[in-house]
Structure 1
Amino acid sequence: MKPKTIRIGTRDSELALWQAHTVERQLNALGYETEIVAVKSTGDLILDVPLYELGITGIFTKTLDVAMIKGEVDIAVHSMKDVPTALPKGIVQAAVLERANVDDILVYKGNPDFYTEAATIATGSLRRQAQWLNRYPHHSVTDIRGNVNTRLKKLDESEWNGAIFAAAGLERINKLPNNHITLDWMIPAPAQGAMVVVAMEHDAFCREAVAKLNHTPTEIATHIERQFLRRLEGGCTAPIGALASSIDGAIRFEGVLLSIDGQEKLHIEKVIPPDADYTNVGNDCADEILQNGGVELMDKIRSQLKK
């Protein structure tokens, strides 16, 4: 009997294909047969509407979810920060790969010393917008959409001073320009820099195969970050950052919730000792934020996004 070929579903952008081929190479090295199946997502097709107006939750993953449920692909590879915290019924997280660079970076044009002056920065992310305006309230932020290559091109053709990107995406496809600054003060999106592979719950063969790719420290960190996000957002897109990192066996967690204009900021930092139970840390930190003004701030964000 011919061994099963695992069909790997992916978006067809350069970065998404890089991620899918990375998973393919790792599965091939373990002796599995694979095939890449690329599809276009709604998020790639609609480039003139800000992500939050599309109802960002799942915009880049929905097409692949449908393909999996229909049996057209067996597994799907995603940038984990694009994946909704609640997966569709029947689809499960099968593996989280070892995390890459978590940082956001600013790709700038001309002189990078524009911070004290009026400037326009491009980003399609409410989280990046809010953190930038919190730090530089005298700047303007404009929306930018499209895959990494499209956004680099738009920046090049614009009058903007710079645009914000995830370092990992540019590094993976060797597009990191010299004219960039690492924004080490900006708290990344939950699970930024991590790749996740999802499979059908009933597909024991694929789940067993993909489980061999799982990186436990990254799985733990992203679990905490996404739990924090899920408890805070309640189905609403909001400016939320979260990062869990391992330091000498302990886990340091930092989370933030901001108003869309960046004027309000709720921040939390916690250290979880080695061997302590981490399974509910994200929820506990989110609850602390909610009890200290987060409920009112989330209500305000929801009402602004409905307009």
Structure 2
Amino acid sequence: MSKTIRIGTRDSQLALWQATTVQQQLEALGYKTEIVSVKSTGDLLLDKPLYELGITGIFTKTLDVAMINAQVDIAVHSMKDVPTLLPKGIVQTAVLPRANTRDILVYKELDFLNGTGTIASGSLRRKAQWLNKYPTHSVEDIRGNVNTRLQKLQENSWNAAIFAKAGLERINVLPEKYLELDWMVPAPAQGAMVVVCMQNDPFSQEAVAKLNHLPTAICTHVERQFLQVLEGGCTAPIGALAIIDKDQLSFEGLLLSLDGKQKLEIKKTIPVSEYQDLGKSLALEILQNGGKALMADIKTNLANEKA
């Protein structure tokens, strides 16, 4: 175990928490590690364009480049931020035990729920589900890390903002005034952390594989397969959640229009042993039952918004 495994991370509080968690687990197994905070992609040189390497994720691109440039050996991500297709040469090696999967509403006062109100969220999925349930409300875009978004909520006139509960719990910033949205289907792989390695690095792969939590890996596989087949490279309001109970896997997935007025849902329970192609088959079922036309509308509307 002479090699020091360099753990790549962004420098936000949550990203560093995730990297430190992996570091502690690897060191408990006897490995030497070092955390490396990575600069933006603009500071890094590459021989090939990013698109040629299949690098697409806005939150993971910087670390993908650093791994390909051999500046770090592994990278730790919130799994819901990771594109379903990894760049060439990078492989998923471990999924850690999942935290809370739920979205929460962090609010100032709750009296707006039955009338008009303004919610903040940068997620198409959260926005569409919120508007489907509360069509008289409006949803404003909000960006930034967890701390930035909490601060923006206080500084603006919005009534509330939606967050992933796991992120706030991990860095101990869960406020008193919040409501767990048990009716909202989370993002595929929400609450899970994934560690990726280079395909040509057997030492790091062998070490990291020891951290893999099989039930979480199975559930997130089904959810991300559902996402990959549905979206086909286009961002869309898609939710998915798989839960294992003994030898059964229960799945819930949905696709919504951007304004939340249309909602296609699917639910299924199967033996865990049959999980391998479940996400794909359920996504194809949704596509055949109105999803294809809905995805075409979503792509058109998003293209018009950018124009």
Same fold (TM over 0.5): yes
How many residue pairs get aligned? The number is: 291
Q: Which residue does 2:18 correspond to in 1?
A: 19
C-alpha contact (below 8 Å) 1:19/1:77 kept by paired residues: yes
Name 1:49's counterpart in structure 2.
Answer: none
Alpha-carbon distance in structure 1 between the residues aligned to 2:70 and 2:117? 49
Distance change (3 Å), C-alpha of 1:57 and 1:120? farther
Q: Aligned residue for 1:280? A: 277
Q: How does 1:87-102 map to 2 (within 5 A)?
A: 87-102=86-101
Matched residue, 2:259: 261
Q: Is 2:176 aligned against 1:178?
A: yes
Shift of 1:293: 0.1
Equivalent residues in 2 for 1:1-307 (5 A)?
Answer: 3-41=2-40, 57-109=56-108, 111-275=109-273, 277-307=274-304
How has the CA–CA distance of structure 1 residues 222 and 274 changed in structure 2, closer, same or farther, with 3 Å as cutoff?
Answer: closer
Name the residue aligned to 1:53: none
Over residues 170-189 of structure 1, what are the superposed CA-to-partner deviations in whole Å (9 max), with x where a residue is unaligned?
00000000100000000000
Residue in structure 2 matched with residue 46 of structure 1 by the alignment: none
Between the aligned partners of 1:72 and 1:225, the Cα distance in structure 2 is: 31
Partner Cα separation in structure 1 for residue 235 and residue 272 of structure 2: 32
SS in 2 for 1:7: strand
Q: Secondary structure at the match of 1:253?
A: strand
CA RMSD of aligned residues (A): 1.2
Deviation at 1:116, TM superposition (A): 1.1
Alignment-mate amino acid for residue 66 of structure 1:
V
Stretches of structure 1 lacking an aligned partner (at least 5 in a row): 43-55
For the residue of structure 2 that corresponds to 1:295, the secondary structure is helix
Letter in 2 for 1:131: Q
TM-score of the aligned structures, taking structure 2 as reference length: 0.93
Deviation at 1:260, TM superposition (A): 0.3
Secondary structure at 2:58 match in 1: coil
- Give the whole-Å Cα distance in 1 for the aligned partners of 2:275 and 2:146: 34
Q: What is the CA distance between 1:233 and its match in structure 2?
A: 0.2
User: CA, structure 1 residues 243+298, in 2 after alignment: closer, same or farther (shift >3 Å)?
Assistant: same
Distance verdict in 2 for CA 1:40–1:239, change over 3 Å? farther
- 1:160-216, CA deviations, whole angstroms, 9 ceiling, x for partnerless residues? 000000000000000000100000000000000000000000100000000000000
Q: Read off the aligned partner of 2:123 and give its amino acid letter.
A: S
Quote the offset at 1:247 in angstroms.
1.9
Q: Deviations over 1:214-255 (max 9, x none)?
A: 000000000000000000000000000000001232000000
Q: Which amino acid aligns with 2:184?
A: M
Q: Given that residues 244 and 272 in structure 2 are in contact (C-alpha distance below 8 angstroms), is that contact kept between their aligned partners in structure 1?
A: no
Contact 1:96 1:197 in 2 (8 A): yes
Q: Secondary structure at the match of 2:218?
A: helix
In 2, distance between residues paired with 1:255 and 1:98? 21
Q: Where in structure 2 are there 5+ consecutive unaligned residues?
A: 42-54
Q: Distance in 1 between matches of 2:79 and 2:25?
A: 18
Identity of aligned pairs, percent? 70
Over 3 Å off, 4+ runs = none
With over 3 angstroms needed to count, the CA separation of the structure-2 counterparts of 1:40 and 1:159, relative to structure 1, is: farther
8 Å CA contact 1:41–1:61 kept in 2: the answer is no
